[in-house]
């Protein structure tokens, strides 16, 4: 119970809140001039470490979402922080009119992790990586061969072109007319894809696991059949690994588990562990379609972002994050399935969705979990998405699952007659 003698003036002010006030900011986020492209935030985080977060009032949370599959090495990773500090004290930016050694190093590492024989274009986000892939497909295809086929339920970004590639018609409505040249087919249905590919099609663009669409993994057979079809019809196979890439699913890139080699791979999110950076990799002869002047972005591959990516990739390789994701993913799946209110678990590695027992609303559970100190996300009205740090400790994982179990039990539907 609150102390009736404690007035607003005497309530202890947390360091986070005090700092915000000193900077003239409204720490309650009630009146801040941000466009409401997301719902109003209920929590403001000020600090993180590994899988832990603290809010403006000093309350601790366990993070099973990683900033939407971004902070794969956890928050405030010391080696990434040190690399950023050093780079900030050395060279932040020179423009792509000039080369940087750190950008070249990161491109080499990515090419190696993808099996070699390609080239990389750096940008600042997942949507931009896909935008580059779309333009590359058009340039490679030539005039009259520009259509990109993607799947219903997919998510590829929010720019006008990537929004149209996104196979969610409800998201298109308010922004019509969208750029021409996009076609959608049923997910995991190779016959539908075969019918959609005509001579105007330049590329097929698919996620190995539809992340925003509900954490729906493709089957290896589907990806192999798509590869075969694309070869047969002379169409590029482009794989969007923005959410699945860099170890999260149990291999460096999820398509590698399906035994296919794509022509183009896009990535972002985990590459900077929170520092904005995206990349579009393409087979060398496809990449050659881009000539000077065809595509560019001021910040793409700049030293600060690539210094972060270089440190991220070094830690990821040393820690063998794909194996960690596989092992921890299996452990998390078992622990979730042992909860009475979890009906099923799907996904790959540490990109999982827990389908809740009938009658439990995932949105209500996610909100209650947050209030209880656990960050998860309702990816559908009936499922929670879990994408913890790939370095999460066994203790943190066990604590998070126990917390989730308690939250779920509070939302169990009351059985009639009980
Ligand atoms: C598969 C996929 N592609 C593209 C994007 C867009 O990335 P960004 O939000 O960095 O533009 C996302 C974001 O969630 C994604 O999951």
**pLDDT tens per residue, range 311-355:** 999 999 999 999 999 999 999 999 999 999 999 999 999 999 999
- Minimum-distance ligand 1 atom for the alpha carbon of 207: 1
Would you give the DSSP letter of residue 35? -
Q: How far apart are CA 404 and CA 297, in angstroms?
A: 42
Query: Does position 9 have pLDDT exceeding 50, yes or no?
Result: no
Give distance in angstroms: CA of 294 to centre of ligand 1.
23
Q: Is 392 exposed, middle or buried (0-12, 13-18, 19+ CB in 10 A)?
A: buried
Which pTM was predicted? 0.94
Q: How far apart are CA 244 and CA 252, in angstroms?
A: 9
Assign residue 274 a region: left if phi > 0, alpha if psi is -120 to 50, beta otherwise? left
Pocket test for ligand 1, best of 124, 242, 264 (most atoms within 8 A of CB): 242
Give distance in angstroms: CA of 175 to centre of ligand 1.
18
Tokens of 222: 């589907």
Among 106, 144, 117, smallest CA distance to 285 is for 117
Q: How far apart are CA 376 and CA 371, in angstroms?
A: 11
- 3-state secondary structure at position 374: strand
Q: What is the mean pLDDT of the chain?
A: 94
Chain mean position to CA 60? 23
Close Cβ partners of 178 (under 8 Å, ≥ 6 residues apart)? 160, 161, 163, 164, 172
Phi and psi angles of residue 178, each rounded to the nearest 5 degrees, phi first: -90, 160
- 3-state secondary structure at position 319: helix
Helices assigned H by DSSP within 3-92 = 15-22, 66-69, 78-88
User: What pLDDT is stored for residue 26 in this prediction?
Assistant: 57
Among 257, 210, 208, 195, smallest CA distance to 237 is for 208
Pocket of ligand 1, beta carbon within 6 A: 68, 125-127, 130, 155-157, 207, 211-212, 240, 242-243, 268
User: Are 225 and 192 contacting, i.e. CB atoms less than 8 angstroms apart?
Assistant: no
The pLDDT tens digits of the residues spanning 100-154 come to 999 999 999 999 999 999 999 999 999 999 999 999 999 999 999 999 999 999 9
Close Cβ partners of 174 (under 8 Å, ≥ 6 residues apart)? none
- Minimum-distance ligand 1 atom for the alpha carbon of 68: 14
Give distance in angstroms: CA of 12 to centre of ligand 1.
40
The pLDDT tens digits of the residues spanning 147-202 come to 999 999 999 999 999 999 999 999 999 999 999 999 999 999 999 999 999 999 99
Give distance in angstroms: CA of 205 to centre of ligand 1.
13
Pocket test for ligand 1, best of 163, 171, 212 (most atoms within 8 A of CB): 212
CA atoms within 13 A on the CB side of 290: 21
**Vertex 161, ends 34 and 96: CA angle to 5°?**
80
Query: Does position 257 have pLDDT exceeding 50, yes or no?
Result: yes
User: Are 268 and 301 contacting, i.e. CB atoms less than 8 angstroms apart?
Assistant: no
Strands 209-210 and 147-151: unpaired
User: What pLDDT is stored for residue 36 in this prediction?
Assistant: 87
Residue positions annotated with a catalytic role:
155, 240, 269
User: What pLDDT is stored for residue 18 in this prediction?
Assistant: 65
Query: Taken in order 376, 379, 381, 382, is the CA torsion positive or negative?
Result: negative
The pLDDT tens digits of the residues spanning 221-254 come to 999 999 999 999 999 999 999 999 999 999 999 9
Tokens of 325: 């994701």
What percent of the chain has a predicted confidence (pLDDT) above 90?
88
Cis peptide before 71 (omega within 30 of 0): no
Q: What is the 3-state secondary structure (H, E, C) of 263-280?
A: CEEEECHHHHCCCCCEEE
Query: Does position 1 have pLDDT exceeding 60, yes or no?
Result: no
**Vertex 286, ends 304 and 283: CA angle to 5°?**
65
């Amino acid at each position: 119970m609150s102390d009736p003698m404690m007035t607003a003036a005497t309530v202890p002010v947390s360091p986070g809140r005090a700092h915000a006030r000193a900077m003239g900011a409204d720490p309650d986020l009630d009146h801040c001039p941000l466009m409401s492209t997301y719902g109003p935030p209920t929590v403001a985080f000020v600090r993180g470490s590994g899988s832990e977060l603290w809010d403006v009032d000093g309350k601790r949370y366990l993070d099973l979402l990683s900033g939407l599959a971004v902070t794969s090495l956890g928050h405030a990773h010391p080696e990434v922080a040190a690399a950023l500090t050093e780079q900030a004290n050395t060279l932040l930016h020179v423009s792509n009119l000039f080369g940087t050694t750190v950008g070249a190093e990161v491109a080499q590492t990515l090419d190696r992790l993808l099996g070699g024989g390609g080239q990389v274009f750096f940008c600042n986000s997942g949507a931009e990586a896909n935008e580059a892939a779309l333009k590359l497909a058009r340039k490679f295809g030539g005039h009259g061969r520009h259509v990109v086929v993607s799947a219903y339920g997919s998510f590829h970004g929010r720019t006008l072109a990537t929004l149209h590639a996104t196979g969610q018609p409800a998201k298109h409505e308010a922004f019509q007319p969208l750029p021409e040249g996009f076609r959608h087919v049923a997910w995991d249905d190779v016959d539908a894809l075969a019918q959609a590919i005509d001579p105007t099609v330049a590329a097929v663009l698919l996620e190995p696991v539809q992340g925003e669409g509900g954490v729906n993994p493709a089957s290896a057979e589907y990806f192999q059949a798509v590869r075969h079809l694309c070869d047969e019809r002379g169409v590029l196979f482009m794989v969007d690994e923005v959410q699945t890439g860099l170890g999260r699913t149990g291999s460096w890139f999820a398509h590698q588990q399906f035994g296919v080699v794509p022509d183009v791979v896009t990535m972002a999110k985990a590459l900077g562990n929170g520092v904005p950076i995206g990349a579009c990799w393409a087979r060398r002869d496809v990449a050659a379609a881009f000539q000077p002047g065809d595509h560019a972005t001021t910040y793409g591959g700049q030293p600060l972002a690539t210094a972060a990516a270089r440190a991220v990739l070094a830690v990821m390789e040393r820690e063998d994050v794909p194996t960690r994701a596989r092992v921890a993913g299996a452990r998390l799946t078992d622990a979730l399935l042992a909860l009475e209110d979890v009906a099923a678990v799907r996904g790959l590695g540490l990109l999982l969705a827990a389908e809740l027992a009938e009658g439990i609303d995932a949105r209500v559970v996610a909100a209650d979990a947050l209030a209880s100190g656990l960050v998860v996300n309702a990816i559908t009205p009936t499922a929670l998405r879990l994408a913890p740090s790939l370095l999460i400790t066994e203790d943190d994982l066990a604590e998070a699952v126990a917390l989730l179990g308690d939250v779920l039990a509070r939302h169990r539907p009351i059985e009639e007659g009980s």
